[in-house]
Structure 1
Amino acid sequence: MSATAAAVAQPGRPPVGQLLRAWRERRRLSQMDLALEAAVSTRHLSFVETGRSKPSREMVLHLAEHLDLRLRDRNELLLAAGYAPVYGEAGLDAPQMAPVREAVRRVLAAHEPFPAVAVDRGWDVVETNASVAIFLEGIAPPLAQPPLNALRLTLHPDGMAPRIANLGEWRAHLLGRLRRHVALTADEGLAALHAELAAYPCDDPEPEVDLPGPADVAVPLRLRHPEGELAFLSTVSVFGTPLDVTVSELAIESFFPLDEHTAAVLRAAVG
């Protein structure tokens, strides 16, 4: 049986038109909006959504591009339309992923002596550099067992949370970031993770929106430490031209010292 035939034979999958309409509405686009952006007729888009017209593989990918869908969701649309997926999904331990693993490790190593971590789409840790150890000090052993989830580790009361001096602010930042990912992807796993994290106790006030002070430029992570409070800013990097689902969902979060005291403590920690 061909890959395409196998895709057609899968039962229980919503039709492609229904999925396209759901994604369009999630993006808060009217049929006219999407038709104009994708340079297709509103009539044809309407026929696709109602099932009166079967889109070509190229049209499915074209609409998915304009809906800004993840590669994972583009594959789902193709399957729903009766086509084989076009984007591979290899595990990080697969032979063809060796260059990706090496690239991630080089980026993490180059960030020393400052912490950096690579995570997958569910914020499960796939690789870290040695400096991440400063975040792991004092956490409960069960939380350090794989799969290690970066958000759970940060906000769990037996994790980093008791050491975060601005827990309410940092928690609001992380939950807001996760909430936006859920809204963008409709990922049920991420929605469940958000519900879990939001239920963790927090005595610090949580701002509903980030209102910067006169000198604030980003939300910092402030960590209590025996040598004094450490302060970090973070950046997130992704692969710029992914053609594999796994690669497209990798992210590297790098933490930079916000002051010289934090930099000095980190340099001393790695000798």
Structure 2
Amino acid sequence: MPFRDRNELLVAAGFAPIYKEDAWNAEEMGSVTRALDRILRHHEPFPAIVMDRHWNVFMRNASALRFFGAFIDLAAHPEPRNLLHLMFDPAAMRPFIVNWEETSRALIQRIHREAVGHTLDERTRELLTSLLAHDGVDPALRAIGSSGTEPTLPMVPLSFQKDGQVLRYFSMITTVGTPQTITTQELRIESMFPADEATEVAHRRWMDHLDKEAP
């Protein structure tokens, strides 16, 4: 059972919570954030980000900024940015996602799958409601995950169209081993990888081009 939920049970039973929840950039998190920064840098030239369990982005590597910044004006989306909102917002990444229907279904499935006991907490329910409120989102997505009948895909498909070319990626998630606080347990590193050789070649060429254009 996650530490956050253990604390809630302890409080409900009349005991004090035992697991701390530090800010992600607190001094006590220094060794963890340094390790996260190293992982992000080693994943170059592919995008990698660090998020909390509600998909709020706290850290990212340079390639993540260049990648998303090549599609949208990141300054129009203040920090902490929420990765799901960037995907669902028609004024953000959604217009560039080739397989939007497949991707949106897979992301909603993932929200439900990662919920403890498949029960959404209040903040996750609020996140889901706000995602489904974006213009043009299929109302049928509301039914996903609630009945447990939706198939689970082996990975979240991510295909982006850039300058007439389709770039295909998939993501892998890394978590902190042997966590001792709520914060470390809930941090997730999401790393994007090319799904085929053509995407890898095109991505590396694209990142090199953006590097040369950078001031």
Q: TM-score, normalised by structure 1?
A: 0.66
- SS of the residue corresponding to residue 79 of structure 1 reads helix
RMSD (CA atoms): 2.4
The amino acid that maps onto 1:176 is Q
Please state how far the C-alpha of 1:270 moved relative to its aligned partner: 3.5
**1:144 lines up with 2:81 in the alignment:** no
Which of the residues 34, 56, 71 maps onto 1:124?
A: 56
Assess if the C-alpha contact under 8 Å between 1:89 and 1:246 holds in 2.
yes
Q: For the structure 1 residues 242 and 259, does the alpha-carbon distance in structure 2 shift closer, same or farther, using more than 3 Å as the test?
A: same
SS of alignment partner, residue 88 of structure 1: coil
Residues 126, 211 of structure 1: alpha-carbon distance in 2 compared, 3 angstrom cutoff: closer
More strand by share: 2
Q: CA deviation at 1:186?
A: 3.4
1:163-178 equivalences under 5 Å are 163-178=96-111
2:130 is matched with 196
8 Å CA contact retained: 2:49, 2:191: yes
- Alignment check: 8 A CA contact 2:107 2:156 kept: no
What residue number does 2:163 align with?
226
Distance in 2 (CA, whole Å) between partners of 1:197 and 1:96 is: 33
Q: Given the superposition, is the C-alpha separation of residues 114 and 141 from structure 1 closer, same or farther in structure 2, using an over 3 Å criterion?
A: closer
SS at match of 2:55: coil
Q: CA deviation at 1:139?
A: 2.5
Of structures 1 and 2, the one with the larger relative CO (CA 8 A, separation 6+) is 2
- Structure-2 change in CA distance of 1:189 and 1:134 (3 Å): same
Structure whose CA Rg is larger = 1
Q: How many percent of aligned residue pairs carry the same amino acid?
A: 38
How big is each residue's C-alpha offset from its partner over 1:16-68, in whole Å with a ceiling of 9 and x where there is no partner? xxxxxxxxxxxxxxxxxxxxxxxxxxxxxxxxxxxxxxxxxxxxxxxxxxxxx
Report the alpha carbon displacement of residue 180 of structure 1 after superposing the two structures with TM.
2.8
1:109 and 2:46 correspond? no
> How far did 1:138 drift?
3.3
1:160 aligns with 2:97: no
Aligned residues between the structures: 198
Look up the SS of the partner of 1:89 in the other structure: coil
Amino acid at match of 2:190: E
TM-superposed CA distance for 1:160, in Å, is 0.5
What residue identity is the alignment partner of 1:268?
R
CA contact (8 A) 1:155 1:161 kept: yes
Q: For residue 106 of structure 2, what is the amino acid of its counterpart?
A: H
Once the two structures are TM-superposed, the CA of residue 185 in structure 1 deviates from its matched residue by 5.2
1:222–1:232: 8 Å Cα contact kept in structure 2? Answer: yes
Identify which of 202, 206, 212 aligns with 1:269: 206
Q: Quick check: 2:157–2:169 contact (8 Å CA) kept in 1?
A: yes
5+ residue gaps, structure 2, are: 145-149, 209-215
**Structure 2 equivalent of residue 20 of structure 1:** none
Label 1:176 to 1:141 Cα distance change in 2 as closer, same or farther (>3 A). same
Runs of 4+ in 1 over 6 A off after TM superposition: none
Structure 1: state its 5+ residue gaps: 1-68
